[in-house]
Amino acid sequence: MFDTKIAIVLRNNLQSWQKLNVTAFLSTGIAGQCPEIIGEPYRDRAGNLYNAMSIQPMIVLSADEETMSTIHRRSLERDITASIFIEEMFSTGHDTANRAVFSEFAPEDAKVVGIALRADKKIVDKITKGAKMHS
């Protein structure tokens, strides 16, 4: 049905609240980069209006630190724009602080705890190779 795939990969040693937080942030990055994935608003039988959501499913995977670094590297090598959440962003409280702390790291020393990407299915599968279905 879709030529593309959306994958969110979380580092496997995060606390539950961190997994949820990172997933929420990363999915907004995908929606911001690809607004065409947002469908029409929802309406219930009573006529109440609700927010539109993604028309495309998102897969959530998990990986260890080494695999996260590999996935990050592969996404850069293939020139895929990704959403990235690094460990140090847990200690900030707003977007400006997040971007400031993010800018202090390069790919080789970033402690990536989450990455989300949308690309051709085969490319996403190659980039995320080694990650497992999140459980």
Enter the pTM of the model.
0.94
- Whether residue 1 is predicted with pLDDT greater than 90 in this model: the reply is no
| 23-65: pLDDT as tens digits | 999 999 999 999 999 999 999 999 999 999 999 999 999 999 9
Minimal CA–CA distance to 122: which of 8, 2, 31, 11? 2
Cα–Cα distance for residue pair 86/89, rounded to 1 Å? 6
As assigned by CATH, the class of the 4-133 domain is alpha beta
Angstrom distance (rounded) from CA 117 to CA 124? 7
- Domain boundaries of the chain, sorted by first residue: 4-133
